[in-house]
């Protein structure tokens, strides 16, 4: 009996010694030290890595069709020029040439599961799913539709976004015991290469609307001098950008995924929704995916003057666009391509009548 008690006593000593020497320092390092000067500086450097040529993701991938009608070639051509101007490395995966039969088969496959997409929306579904399969080859990837535009200061903008996403998601991630016990060193190494952290499935960096949470504590607010003074957004605070966990964005303009979340979307996504972005919206809303939104967004679709023209809906001359523009983007990368101004400009005529929104070089 005594020998058994002695054995248990020694086992307890060994266990507590092990916990004290290994697990407790790991917990301190992961849970408490983020507020220390050393780790705060280290984390800041990590966030700054978001300002690289792929905006802190392993890759940027564009959703662009195999072939484009001549009238719409400005979409990809303008993206290539804007990326060159702002130093972004964007990959353009060559998609299959989707046929009418492909679209019809996709629509028929989903008809019994809910609302079926139109032929144009089916093509968009196929394009996004194909790009997500490419994204699953990377640890993280930012997916852009090919008519996207962004500010010339996008590399600086994403550093603040990375800090916001980390701040909102990091505590819950670190407190997941399974992520800490036995994996502390591996986890820290992973996070060193992840400016936004890894506790998310979708980062919605470009959209056409996202409701703001009612709880102010759920919002990360920060001043952003690159915002135009006039925006079309649920955020009414001038010069302030919001980041928050969200289930409400619409329009899949620009969204980031991890390898895990790309695979999850591919496993669970079905075409039984009118549009891909509607499916993604509901997956976020229902908690199937952990999603964060930036509002006002960093990416928005660029619009050329003239008739509305879309890969999904086709040509609509009934409500022409008065002038070239990109909503919620002050110094459009596309509009700065070829500019001879001494500083960044906004799209001509977009901010006419809003004097403070027009850069001095453009007045």
**How far apart are the C-alpha atoms of 102 and 67, rounded to whole Å?**
15
| Higher per-residue pLDDT: 35 or 343 | 343
Which of 16-20, 56-60, 272-276, 326-330 is predicted least confidently? 16-20
Per-residue pLDDT tens digits for 291-307: 999 999 999 999 988 76
Query: Has residue 353 got a pLDDT over 70?
Result: no
Bond prior to 296 in cis (omega within 30° of 0): yes
What is the pLDDT confidence band of residue 25, given thresholds at 50, 70 and 90? very low
Look at residue 294 in the predicted model and tell me its pLDDT.
97
Q: What is the pLDDT of residues 31-53, one digit of tens each?
A: 433 444 444 666 677 888 899 99
How many CA atoms within 13 Å lie on the side-chain side of 323?
10
CA distances, 62 to each of 89, 90, 103, 173, 340 (Å): 11, 7, 20, 29, 28
Q: What is the mean pLDDT of the chain?
A: 81
Contacts of 221 (CB under 8 A, 6+ apart): 237, 240, 241, 242
Q: Calculate the alpha carbon distances from 270 to 24, 124, 136, 273, 325 in Å.
A: 45, 13, 17, 8, 34
Per the DSSP assignment, residues forming a β-bridge with 143 are: 61, 255
Contacts 24+ apart (CB under 8 A), 179-187: 180/26, 180/27, 180/30, 181/23, 184/26, 184/29, 184/30, 187/30
Residue 351's pLDDT band, with cuts at 50, 70 and 90, is confident
Locate the domains of the chain by residue range.
51-301
Does the pLDDT of residue 239 top 50, yes or no?
A: yes
Contact 48, 131 (CB under 8 A): no
**Is this structure's pTM higher than 0.75?**
yes
Backbone angles phi, psi at 224, to 5 degrees: -140, 105
The pLDDT confidence band at residue 191, using thresholds 50, 70 and 90, is low
Residue 126 phi/psi, 5° resolution?
-60, -40
Q: Is the pLDDT of residue 245 over 60?
A: yes
Interatomic CA distance for residues 219 and 235, integer angstroms? 11
**Rounded distance, CA 229 to CA 355, Å?**
10
For residues 265, 266, 272, 277, the Cα torsion angle rounded to the nearest 10 degrees is 50
Contact status, residue 94 vs residue 353, Cβ threshold 8 Å: no
**pLDDT reported for residue 176:** 47
Give residue 105's pLDDT.
75
Task: Supply the pLDDT for residue 9.
Answer: 60
pLDDT-above-70 percentage for the chain? 71
Dump pLDDT digits (tens) for 89-127.
Answer: 999 999 998 887 877 777 766 655 556 666 667 888 899
Contacts of 98 (CB under 8 A, 6+ apart): 65, 66, 123, 126, 127
* Average pLDDT value for residue range 342-347: 92
What does the pLDDT average to over 306-333? 75
DSSP helix, strand, coil percent of the chain (3-state; round to 5): 45, 15, 40
Distance of CA 193 to the CA centre of its chain: 17
In tens, the pLDDT along 70-95 reads: 888 999 999 999 999 999 999 999 99
Q: Distance between CA atoms of 267 and 264, rounded to whole angstroms?
A: 5
Integer Cα distance of 336 and 126 in angstroms: 32
Q: What is the mean pLDDT of residues 220-246?
A: 92
CATH number of the domain located at residue range(s) 51-301 in this protein: 3.90.550
Largest CA distance in the chain: 93
Residue 323 banded pLDDT, cuts 50, 70, 90:
confident
More confident residue, 191 or 204: 204
Pairwise CA distance, residues 284 & 255, whole Å: 12
245 or 171, greater pLDDT: 245
Q: What is the pLDDT of residue 309?
A: 63
Higher-confidence position of 5 and 167: 167
């Amino acid at each position: 009996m005594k020998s058994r008690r002695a054995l248990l006593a020694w086992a307890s000593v060994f266990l507590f010694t092990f916990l004290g020497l290994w697990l407790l320092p790991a917990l301190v390092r992961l849970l408490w030290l983020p507020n220390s000067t050393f780790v705060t500086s280290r984390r800041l450097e990590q966030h700054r890595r978001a300002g690289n040529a792929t905006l802190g993701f392993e890759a940027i991938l564009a959703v662009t069709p195999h072939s484009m009608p001549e009238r719409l070639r400005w979409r990809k051509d303008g993206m290539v020029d804007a990326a060159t101007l702002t130093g972004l490395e964007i990959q353009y995966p060559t998609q299959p040439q989707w046929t009418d039969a492909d679209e019809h088969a996709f629509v028929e496959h989903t008809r019994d599961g809910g609302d079926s997409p139109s032929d144009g929306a089916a093509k968009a579904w196929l394009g996004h799913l194909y790009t997500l399969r490419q994204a699953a080859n990377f640890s993280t990837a930012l997916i852009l539709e090919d008519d996207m535009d962004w500010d010339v200061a996008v590399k600086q903008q994403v550093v603040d976004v990375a800090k916001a996403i980390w701040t909102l998601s990091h505590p819950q991630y670190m407190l997941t015991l399974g992520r800490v016990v036995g994996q502390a060193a591996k986890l820290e190494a992973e996070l060193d290469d992840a400016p936004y952290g890894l506790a998310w499935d979708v980062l919605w960096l470009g959209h056409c609307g996202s409701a703001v949470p009612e709880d102010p504590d759920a919002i990360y607010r920060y001043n952003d001098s690159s915002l135009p003074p006039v925006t079309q957004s649920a955020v009414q605070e001038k010069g302030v950008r919001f980041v928050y966990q969200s289930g409400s964005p619409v329009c899949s303009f620009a969204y980031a995924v991890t390898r895990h979340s790309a695979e999850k979307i591919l496993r669970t996504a079905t075409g039984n929704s009118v549009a891909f972005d509607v499916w993604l919206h509901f997956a976020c809303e229902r908690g199937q995916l952990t999603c964060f939104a930036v509002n006002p967004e960093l990416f928005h679709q660029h619009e050329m003057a003239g008739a509305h023209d879309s890969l999904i809906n086709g040509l609509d001359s009934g409500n022409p666009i008065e002038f070239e523009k990109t909503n919620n983007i002050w110094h459009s990368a596309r509009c700065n391509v070829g500019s001879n101004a001494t500083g960044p400009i906004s799209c001509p005529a977009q901010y006419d009548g809003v004097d403070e929104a027009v850069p001095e070089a453009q007045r």
